[in-house]
Amino acid sequence: MSPDEMETKIAKLESVNDQLQAEFDHLDMLLREIGFAAGIETLKEAAKELLDKNKDPSDGDA
């Protein structure tokens, strides 16, 4: 890959990274607005708790 091709690829990757970061920040803000105190981190914790609860055979659903 030539230096010019590498620079073009880097520019594209930086653009994609910027877009993904903007989406991540927007999602984090929305989650905070609806009550997830720490945004995505709180959502991940809640999801893990739900998964753990659903794995527990003593929850009466099995």
pLDDT in tens, 32-56: 999 999 999 999 999 999 999 999 7
Q: What range defines the domain where residue 33 resides?
A: 3-56
**Residue 58: pLDDT above 80?**
no
Q: Residue 62: inside a domain, yes or no?
A: no
Q: How many domains does the chain have?
A: 1
Q: Residue 61: inside a domain, yes or no?
A: no
Residue 23 burial (C-beta neighbours within 10 Å; 0-12, 13-18, 19+) = exposed
For 17-27, the pLDDT digits (tens) are 999 999 999 99
42 in Cβ contact with 36 (< 8 Å): yes
Report the sign of the C-alpha dihedral through residues 28, 31, 33, 36, in that order: negative
Model pTM above 0.85: no
